Structure 1
Amino acid sequence: MSSTSGSSTLSRPIPRFASIGSPYFGIMLAVMAVVLILSNIGASKGVVLGPIVTDGGFFLFPLAYILGDVMSEVYGFKVARKAIVTSFALSVFASLCYWIIIALPGFGDDYGNAKQAAIEGALGPVPLIVLGSLLAFLAGQTINSWILVKMKARTGERTLWARLMSSSVVGEFVDTLIFCSIAASVIGITDFPTFVNYVLVGFLYKTLVEFLFVPITALVIGLIKKREPSYGVRV
């Protein structure tokens, strides 16, 4: 029995990852942080496209998840988690800056008052959006990364498309449900049918975008793996 168990253990593929010594990780981390900050600003605006209810950050946010998939696959769960936490620390810092900007005294003329009102309207809700985004992205992206890396531990370099798609479905659902529950009231959603619309549209849209980008995501992952000198080191 021990022989069978040992044979099973030996036959399981060993997942390969890269260290973060090259510039690629830093570039992806910077892009993820910028995408997250911009999507938080955009999410403070409710958007209606016919029967669809969403927010102004809808076209940006899936990019953060795609970057998370790339980092998880190439660098592993610990590094991806570091990128998630760093991105949100920068997002919280941006929110603090918005609060200071709003609090600073402006010009007292009509133009200055109009500018102040516009800035308060645009940036004032962002801290609540960031709170919702923080909780949602931390939960959703962490689950997404964990599932992807766990599946890689079982399959090695094979079935990348399955890892990307499976992890995306679970991660996006958790993320969307948490975020919409907090952001709905901020952007003016007050009734349950509209809330359900907001959640379903967000989940289906984000998941569809990730599915459509699977070939591109896989191509980017392949290119980075080839160019990362340390890829193949177990971390």
Structure 2
Amino acid sequence: MGLEILNCCHPKELLVFKKKYLGVFILGYTIVFFASNWFDPRQIQIFGLVTGAGSIAFPLTYLFSDIITEVYGYKNARIAVWSALLFFLIFILYGQLVVALLSPYSSSREALVAFLYTNNRIILAAILSYFITETMNSYLVAKLKILLNGEYMGLRFITATLTAYTFNEIIYAPIAFYGLIPNLEEFIYHMFTSWVFMVSIELLFLPFSIRLAKYIKIIENLDIYDTKTNFNPFSLNTQYRKKNNKSKKTK
């Protein structure tokens, strides 16, 4: 699966590059994903809007995803998604092990169990919505880049993110907060405020993400276009042809 491209082109056509900062972006992406889901049960109020604490950090996952896709291509963004998910699952399994182990202080164990039970719902919702919407976001960034010939980066980023945010709330909120929010009106209000809050953060950071993406393209000498890419989210192939790189330095 990861070597599928080798069957369709000569090795000399393959793009070889060092990916100097890709690991940094994947690490940042993973940390932000952890933080957004771990703290989301905590409800906060900012400028009159009530939302989960994870809403502050979660939009940054899309910022990282946008930049990875724009510079390194969809295939490397897909690896970032899988990497974050794998380490998150390991983290959760360790939490379950901690709960299973005996503690000399029953009250502390009960508090931890209650906390993790609430978080388990968040975690289940996060895993389902995360995999679907993060993959969707990267797919849209990659496809819009081809459609618009690499122009209008800000429009491409915000279009992909708004679409992904909408689907994220539709998938995530019912699983994470069903029964915890007393009535339908409050539930819809929570979904709407979370969406507004996350979109606002995305818009706030959009100029920065555009500048950073352009800067990293120059540093890495990369500008990947996902032409003829297999967008199967379960593929682990990260190889590109040289002609997929449209960096101005290579022209």
Matches within 5 A, 1:52-131: 52-107=49-104, 112-131=105-124
The aligned residue for residue 168 of structure 1 is: 161
What is the CA–CA distance in structure 1 between the aligned matches of 2:92 and 2:17, rounded to whole Å? Answer: 28
Residue pair 2:20, 2:220 contacting (<8 A) in 1 also: no
**1:34, CA displacement in angstroms?**
1.4
Letter in 2 for 1:226: I
Give deviations 1:59-118, integer Å, cap 9, x for gaps. Answer: 1111111111111111111221221122112111111111111111111xxxx2332233
What is the CA–CA distance in structure 2 between the aligned matches of 1:21 and 1:132, rounded to whole Å? Answer: 35
Deviates more, 1:124-133 or 1:190-199: 124-133
**1:45, CA displacement in angstroms?**
2.5
Letter in 1 for 2:196: L
TM-score normalised over the length of structure 1: 0.83
**1:19, CA displacement in angstroms?**
6.4
Residue pair 2:45, 2:51 contacting (<8 A) in 1 also: yes
Matches within 5 A, 1:1-235: 21-48=18-45, 52-107=49-104, 112-185=105-178, 188-231=180-223, 233=242, 234=244
The aligned residue for residue 10 of structure 1 is: none
Q: What's the C-alpha RMSD, in Å, of the aligned pairs?
A: 2.1
Letter in 2 for 1:72: T
Determine what percentage of the aligned residue pairs are the same residue.
22
Change (3 A) 1:27 1:81: same
Q: Gaps spanning 5+ residues in structure 1: where? A: 1-17
What is the CA–CA distance in structure 2 between the aligned matches of 1:121 and 1:44, rounded to whole Å? Answer: 12
Residue pair 1:19, 1:231 contacting (<8 A) in 2 also: no
Give deviations 1:147-201, integer Å, cap 9, x for gaps. Answer: 1111111223321111011111101111122111111137x21310111011111
What is the CA–CA distance in structure 2 between the aligned matches of 1:222 and 1:230, rounded to whole Å? Answer: 10
Change (3 A) 1:94 1:21: same
What is the CA–CA distance in structure 2 between the aligned matches of 1:172 and 1:19, rounded to whole Å? Answer: 34
**1:55, CA displacement in angstroms?**
1.4
Q: Gaps spanning 5+ residues in structure 2: where? A: 1-14, 225-241, 246-251
TM-score normalised over the length of structure 2: 0.78
Letter in 2 for 1:21: K
**1:230, CA displacement in angstroms?**
4.5
Q: Would you say how many aligned residue pairs link Structure 1 and Structure 2? A: 213
- Which one has the bigger helix percentage? 1
